[in-house]
Structure 1
Amino acid sequence: MLTRRDAVVLLGAGAGALTSANASAQTPPTPPPAPAPGPRVFDHGVVIERARRLAAEPFAEPKAELPQSLKDMGFDGYRDVRFKRDRAYFAKGGSGFSMELFHLGFLYQQPVVVNLVREGVPAPIPYDSGLFDFGGNKAPGRLPIDLGFAGFRLHYPLNKPSVSDELAVFLGASYFRFLGAGQHYGISARGVAIGTGEDAPEEFPLFREFWVEEPGATATEIVVHALLDGPSLTGAYRMVISPGLETTVDVGSTLFPRAAIPKLGVAALTSMFQYGENDRRQYRGFRPEVHDSDGLLVHGANGEWLWRPLINPERLEKTPFAQSAARGFGLLQRDRLFEHYQDLEVRYDLRPSYWIEPQGDWGPGRVELVEIPTDHETFDNVVAYWVPDAPAEPGATLRFSYRIRSLKLAERLSPGGRALHTFVTDPRASGDPSAAPENVRRFIVDFAGGDLAYWLDDPRKVVTETSASTGKINAAFVVPNPEIGGFRLFLDHEIEQPGEHAVVRAVLKAGAKTLTETWLFPWRRAG
């Protein structure tokens, strides 16, 4: 359990010595005593030093002694425990920001210390059951004031000046998520990802303590500091959250490895893809598509834009992107048409896209995408992050700064044409009797945006440049698609060996001019 020493910065105070009233006239006057030092003004250096010291100690998972009723609480019971809105912090400060806490229980049994920073002085929020309405649950008995909380959430009038909307949530391990105007929760960000997609079990460090700076009356942003802790590393995070049409979070992180980390995932994003237009294996019910994100976009150091539609694989798929993502990457929900989802409750059409913009030089590395099989939409099965080429070694200090943008419409990220739709089919369905379903796939890709509408008047100049990591491309051609102001690509690819895996690539060009992002898609022949 966290002690109060763990939750606050304790600083000593001194006192000056008084001069004697009977001192000799010949004795030089003693200068007046220095004022007793007060509490140190909080800054992010405090969190960095905490993380540095913590990294030199063995990892000790924070635990709380909870009543059995909280330990055994189910989802419905936990959802019934609500923070009392009239007790929200910052609500009367005039900024529009307010903060509520989450109670421990259900899946969230690791205590988190939440500190308020007022005028530079931090103080932990003591536990008080009176802060919560327990609904149909029996209120717990007397619990210690240093019990802690499960996390917290921030509110702000995102959509209407008179309505305080949920802006951001920090709950569970190092997960956090946030919204822009008109968006519904879906994708999440994470402090780091360690060992994702590897043979050894994945490690989930946790934000064990937060410091939330009280916003001033005219504030347009709110600052959150977080202390990360896990078996392999510690870290200090400073996050500046700026709400708006496209809410941004500016993240500064300082990491201290406890142990060697062969693969460290920086600026990790987690999302869900069960099925969509390009992957129908899990299709059932009335909803045509079920996903929080439908693709990964990568802006490489060489200026190339890469679009990789997501899949729900039959086995875990790990896709590295060789070129450094010096300019940006993100998991996007590109399809915004309600009729493609038909879900009035969860509104997949309103799920945000998260775009990572690295700040400063991250050094050599790569973006990696991990896709995990799932048969239910409640499981996050997609993770994307940036991996430094050099493994993280104990004793090192690693710094990464970046901005995360929560987007609803991401068309202006890439200047060229974009892959709007990807369909995968059996060529025999299009009248090719020689095709065998297990070794040939036909890909149909719609490109729109950029300058593509201009080339509709002279479509013969638009050609496709294709390649594949293995196998062979039997046919590839493009035709105008005036319905979207762009072009449709047809591509047939064949894999010769059973069980072989291939990645197919295509880009549209007019002479030497690149018109679109590079589309790439994986598939595996059965066997």
Structure 2
Amino acid sequence: MAGPVRRTRAVGGAPGAGAMRARVTGVRAGTLRLRERASIICLHDALSGLKPALAVFAGLSNVPLIDSRTGGACRGGFRSVPVLARRSRARRVDVTSGRELFRRFHVFPVMHPVRRCREPEQGVHFGGVLDEWNLRPPWAWRGPGGDCMNRRNFILSALAGAAVVQGSHVARAREADELAGLSPDDVFARVVERARALSGDSYDDRRMTFNGPFQNLNIRDYQAIRYKPDARVWLNDHLPFQMDLRAPGMVYDRPVTINIVSPEGATPLPFTPDLLEFDPAVFDGANRGRPDANGSSGLSWTGLRLYAPLNRPDGFDDFAIFQGASYFRAIARDTRYGLSARGLAIGTGDQKGEEFPWFSTFWVHRPQPGAQDLRIHALLESASLTGAYDFIIRPGGETTMDIHSVLFPRNEIAQVGVAPLTSMYLFGTDRRSRIDDFRNAVHDSSGLQMVTGHERRLWRPLTNPTTLQTSAFQDLNPTGFGLTQRQRSFDDYQDVKGHYERRPSAWVEPLGDWGEGAVVLVEIPLQNEFNDNIVAFWRPKDPLHAGERYDYSYRLFWSGATRDEMALARVMATRSGSAGSDGNRLYVIDFRGSPAAARDVTPKLEISAGEARNVVVQQLPRDGDVRVAFEYVPGDATSSEFSLFLETPDGPASETWMYRWTT
């Protein structure tokens, strides 16, 4: 171990009994120095065989005795365990054997026999201690005959194991205990300090190695692994939220630690395949069956999914998922999963390549009965920075997330994306000549919507370009931005399976001043609907500097309705087509909700390169619907930026349509 670790823990005894305090005063090179300051400890009947050994060092509880052959809990176990200890000088001991410890620190456990072990029960849990501390569980400590080890050797081994795990794993257990009784704000403050401290260390790019049924999975295989519905967290606790955990496999190779925070402290949820269902239609071979102990060793959960009474009061529907790098997504009532959000984007669209930070640890607060929101903290890790995230999540007709991120760069970062959104746009009403599809449109979002710091409304329809395109919209303290799905009729898509009309929109509303920067839109060429190709985020004007702290707070809305209510006409459709054989293009833009008739509005059109001709305004059959059409002559231009809005004598009558033309 790298250096001394100081830890003091009292282990309480039965009423009337004494107590022993053991202080670890130094841990170096596999040795331990211990000072004993009391005479007797008496542990209760309820304690299992492993607990007395670990309790000497850490006061742990609820650690079962497990059979190595079955993974089941042992019958019986130790009953009352008095442990006598005499005062002794501090001595160094070999933690791999415990011999010096027991010779100089005289410990006399009085134990009852341990009976043979029974078969495993479904859903056996280890209380998080074994997995979090990386201890070899008791079933690894067995005698030659296969029975539980003799009492003396068992305690020796347990004490040795308890000493070995002093260090980072003990620090986690200590942190869990230190969270007891803290408010959610105080818990988040601890996460912030952990992120700050971690930023000073070298980056640990840890990944899992899959084996057994978790290796070589395609998406169909992975979807055949499901969390058991009857094993959800808080399932039988009559609480307003439930949670399940996401299995490892496929692209999900980052280990994720998930903790439940309650007034008693933080409890990690260890990975166990017993909580998973494996579809027998997929997992039926010798190498694709249920995992054994070796097949799940070294694996972790990779994310979490949340449930609440979203669409009906008498049932729980999933409404949010956190999984993969820093990705998360959510839905509102009567919507279906579509676009995603991320904790942070680094280098998106950069020729040097993109860096993907990841949420390595979650702290999920146990909700109170009747609570309307759920509180989650997350630790972000990456080669370039660390971060702490606080989520307050409220599901409903409009699902909202109050998000506070605290970032600690390890090095200077110029291309950083705050509050990034990720979506898919294959084709719509505009420029679909490359797409041969029976459907009218295929996309999770139809456009980038923005409200600037000066309250100017902007709309940028999305495209599926032939080459990567990046657009930046400069601003100061933006009011909001988001990726919006405006077409809400089945006829707009004609997809009975995808139901793109029910995909949610996502809207970012900054809380506080974000300063100068730009809303950035990245559009990537796409060949099918199974990948994302749209990214939108806020990029600060100045780079993030190493050693500094950066705070960003915002409210993220997921909704099937339009977020920004305004008394202005909105762009509902953008269409284009050939205007002849000379390369000219005809553009048609439909506005809905115009406060004035077509004859009373003036189109304000600007073209950065090329020429616009034959600009006309037409009244459409539906009241408030106005169409603007024009012919674009590119000339020698290879790209051009368009902007258009409707104007009346009283001022703007519509949001501003913005568009990029490329050859």
2:205 alignment partner in structure 1: 61
Matches within 5 A, 1:298-337: 298-324=450-476, 326-337=478-489
1:128 alignment partner in structure 2: 272
Check the 8 A contact 2:208/2:298 in 1, yes or no.
no
2:630 alignment partner in structure 1: 491
For each residue in 1:356-406, what CA deviation from the matched residue of structure 2 results, as whole angstroms up to 9, or x when unmatched? 000011111110000000101011000000000010111110100000101
For each residue in 1:32-82, what CA deviation from the matched residue of structure 2 results, as whole angstroms up to 9, or x when unmatched? xxxx99634351011111111111111111222431531212211211111
Q: Distance in 1 between matches of 2:249 and 2:662?
A: 42
Matches within 5 A, 1:24-423: 39-41=178-180, 42=182, 43-119=187-263, 121-136=265-280, 137=283, 138-142=289-293, 147-324=299-476, 326-410=478-562, 412-423=564-575
Q: Which consecutive residues of structure 1, in runs of 5 or more, have no partner in the other structure?
A: 1-9, 17-35, 429-434
What's the secondary structure of 1:375's corresponding residue? coil
2:582 alignment partner in structure 1: 436
For each residue in 1:141-164, what CA deviation from the matched residue of structure 2 results, as whole angstroms up to 9, or x when unmatched? 115777320111001111111221
Q: Distance in 2 between matches of 1:76 and 1:337?
A: 30
Shift of 1:513: 1.3
Check the 8 A contact 1:298/1:325 in 2, yes or no.
no
Q: Distance in 2 between matches of 1:412 and 1:110?
A: 37
What's the secondary structure of 1:223's corresponding residue? strand
Shift of 1:15: 9.8
Q: Distance in 2 between matches of 1:263 and 1:14?
A: 50
1:26 alignment partner in structure 2: none
2:606 alignment partner in structure 1: 467
Which runs of 4 or more aligned residues in structure 1 lie more than 3 Å from their structure 2 counterparts after TM superposition? 10-16, 36-42, 143-147, 411-415
For each residue in 1:443-472, what CA deviation from the matched residue of structure 2 results, as whole angstroms up to 9, or x when unmatched? 1011112xx2x523xx42211111012222
Shift of 1:245: 0.2
Q: Distance in 2 between matches of 1:147 and 1:324?
A: 45
What's the secondary structure of 1:322's corresponding residue? strand
For each residue in 1:470-514, what CA deviation from the matched residue of structure 2 results, as whole angstroms up to 9, or x when unmatched? 22222322111132522100122222215x110111000112411
Shift of 1:120: 5.4
Deviates more, 1:475-484 or 1:150-159: 475-484
Check the 8 A contact 1:321/1:367 in 2, yes or no.
yes
From the two aligned structures, give the one with the greater helix fraction.
2
Shift of 1:13: 4.1
The alignment-based identity, stated in percent, is 36
Q: Distance in 1 between matches of 2:491 and 2:264?
A: 50
Q: Distance in 2 between matches of 1:246 and 1:417?
A: 23
Check the 8 A contact 2:645/2:652 in 1, yes or no.
yes
Amino acid at match of 1:455: A
How high is the TM-score relative to the length of structure 2? Answer: 0.70
1:25 alignment partner in structure 2: none
1:503 alignment partner in structure 2: 641
Shift of 1:325: 5.4
Shift of 1:407: 1.4
Q: Distance in 2 between matches of 1:184 and 1:12?
A: 51
Q: Distance in 2 between matches of 1:506 and 1:401?
A: 32
What's the secondary structure of 1:326's corresponding residue? coil
Structure 2 CA distance for partners of 1:12 and 1:367, relative to 1, 3 Å? farther
Amino acid at match of 2:596: W
Check the 8 A contact 2:477/2:514 in 1, yes or no.
no
Amino acid at match of 1:436: D
Q: Which consecutive residues of structure 2, in runs of 5 or more, have no partner in the other structure?
A: 1-5, 13-58, 60-173, 284-288
Q: Distance in 1 between matches of 2:389 and 2:428?
A: 35
Q: Distance in 1 between matches of 2:7 and 2:419?
A: 34
What's the secondary structure of 2:551's corresponding residue? strand
1:447 alignment partner in structure 2: 591
Q: Distance in 2 between matches of 1:513 and 1:505?
A: 16
For each residue in 1:18-45, what CA deviation from the matched residue of structure 2 results, as whole angstroms up to 9, or x when unmatched? xxxxxxxxxxxxxxxxxx9963435101
2:655 alignment partner in structure 1: 517
Check the 8 A contact 2:385/2:411 in 1, yes or no.
yes
Deviates more, 1:370-379 or 1:462-471: 462-471
Check the 8 A contact 2:240/2:367 in 1, yes or no.
no
Structure 2 CA distance for partners of 1:284 and 1:468, relative to 1, 3 Å? same
1:5 alignment partner in structure 2: none
What's the secondary structure of 2:596's corresponding residue? helix
Please provide the CA RMSD for this pair. 2.0
Deviates more, 1:232-241 or 1:92-101: 92-101
Check the 8 A contact 1:71/1:109 in 2, yes or no.
no
Deviates more, 1:146-155 or 1:108-117: 146-155
Structure 2 CA distance for partners of 1:319 and 1:471, relative to 1, 3 Å? same
Question: Are residues 1:481 and 2:620 paired?
Answer: yes
User: How many pairs were matched up?
Assistant: 483
Check the 8 A contact 1:282/1:375 in 2, yes or no.
no
What's the secondary structure of 2:252's corresponding residue? coil
Structure 2 CA distance for partners of 1:11 and 1:329, relative to 1, 3 Å? farther
Amino acid at match of 2:292: G
Q: Distance in 1 between matches of 2:249 and 2:504?
A: 28
Structure 2 CA distance for partners of 1:462 and 1:12, relative to 1, 3 Å? farther
Amino acid at match of 2:201: E
Q: Distance in 2 between matches of 1:441 and 1:411?
A: 33
